[in-house]
Structure formats: structure tokens, C-alpha cells
Amino acid sequence: MKKLLLSLMTVLVAGAAQASLPFVTTPSPTTLPIHWYQLKIEDSEKYVTYDPNGGIYNQVKISATASTNDNYLWCFVKISSDKILLYNRGAKQYLEECQYYTYDLSSSYLSFVQEPENDYFYIMYYHKGDNRNYYLSEYVGDGIDILQSTGRYYATKFRVVEIEVEGDDLVAGDVNGDGIVSGADVTALYNVLLDGAIPAGNADVNGDSVVSGADVTALYNLLLN
């Protein structure tokens, strides 16, 4: 599946300030802590899940069964002030509804149109290829529920339910996750920076929500002091 660049667009009420997000963003799916959520359809017991056996048009589906399986867990990766990517823990990929996909990572943007003062929001994305917005909703077809493109008036509202905060109790500098800060963490941090390796522990040593060369300096300072 192609990784799609997504953006955040929050609805503004006339004369009112922008509402806060109903979820906590994370720097990346490899930088802890990560807030993992279920996406639940408003006032129902149906949840958004990734189906590894689905085709490109129905890998994202609706399930009537709640689960903490990785395919049910999503996080919101904030890559800039106005761009957020939706990442699935089981798929280990950035996902959207998949019906309109593209090779161009910058051509499609997923937006979360938030309802003011509550934790519900619409999932909407803009597709540059045909210059249209698409809303995701529950759609019953061929005997199964899937997420399908539709008009806004038929869009489904989703609630985010936090299930787990991965790495919430990690020690700064414990990049390899062995419980201690040592020279082995320097090697682990270099692997993260050079190879994109997924850290077992906390690679964001200086706590600025970005894994960079500055974390190498911060790690050396921890070891020296």
C-alpha cells in the first residue's frame, strides 16, 4: 500500500476559537511514547480495523467486535504544524480508506473535521487527482461493512478511545530498552538515525519529540554525568 501524505483540517465555528484535538499526536510510530487508539463509530459498538487479507479497496473495514488486537489500534503522527498521518499498528503502515490511492506522497491529504467540544470527528480526505473531498462512512455492501467514500451528509462520525500509551514509563537514554543507560544505547541510537531502526526503548533522549543528532549529544551527556 502506498503511504499517503495526510493533513489536518479542523472546522472553525464562526467567531469561535479552534477546538482542541480529541486525540494526542505522536512524533512518529518509532518514537515513544505512542498513544494508541481504537476508532469507534458514534453511538455503536463498531470499530475501524485493518484487514491484511483485504484488497486495495477494502483493507480498512468496520468490525462489530471490539478488540485490542494490533489491527484495531491507530495512532496520529504529527509531521508538521498542519499535517497528520494515520498509522495502524498491525499494518505498520500509514493508511487511509485506500479506494483513491496514488504514487505521489504529496497528492492526497487526510483531514479530521472535528466537532466542537467533544471527542467525535469526521474522517475526510482531499484527493488531488480529481480535486474532490471524500468522506469515510459505514457502507454495507456484499454482506460486509467497509469504509467507503461518500458525501458529507452521509459521513460517519468516529470517536477515539485510547487503549495504550506505549513507552510511557521509559527512561530517557534507554534506547535499546534493556532498563539501563549504557554504551549499548549509543549504538542503538546510531542504528535508529542511520538505518531507521525501530527502537525498543526511548530514542528521543532530549525530549524534543524529534529523534536527531541532538539526541546523540544528550545521550553522551547522560553517560558522562
Q: How many domains does the chain have?
A: 2
Amino acid 189: pLDDT = 92
Is 119 inside a domain boundary? Answer: yes
Are residues 203 and 155 part of one domain? no
In DSSP notation, 190-224 reads HHHHHH-PPPSS---TTSSS--SHHHHHHHHHHHH
Q: Is the pTM of this model over 0.85?
A: no
Domain range holding 141? 25-166
Regarding whether 102 and 66 lie in a shared domain, the answer is yes
Query: What is the maximum alpha-carbon separation in the chain?
Result: 63
Report if residue 104 sits inside a domain.
yes
- The count of other CB atoms within 10 Å of the CB of residue 10 is 15
Beta pairing, strands 74-80 & 25-26: parallel
Q: Is residue 19 part of a domain?
A: no
pLDDT of 10 reads: 26
Stretches where the chain sits below pLDDT 70 are 1-19, 56-57, 82, 95-117, 126-130, 132, 139-144, 149-150, 209
Residue 109 is predicted with a pLDDT of 62
Residue at 16 is within a domain: no
What is the pLDDT at residue 4? 24
Q: Please check whether residue 156 lies inside any domain of the structure.
A: yes
User: Do residues 144 and 118 both lie within one domain?
Assistant: yes
143 and 79 fall within a common domain: yes
DSSP 8-state assignment for residue 13? -
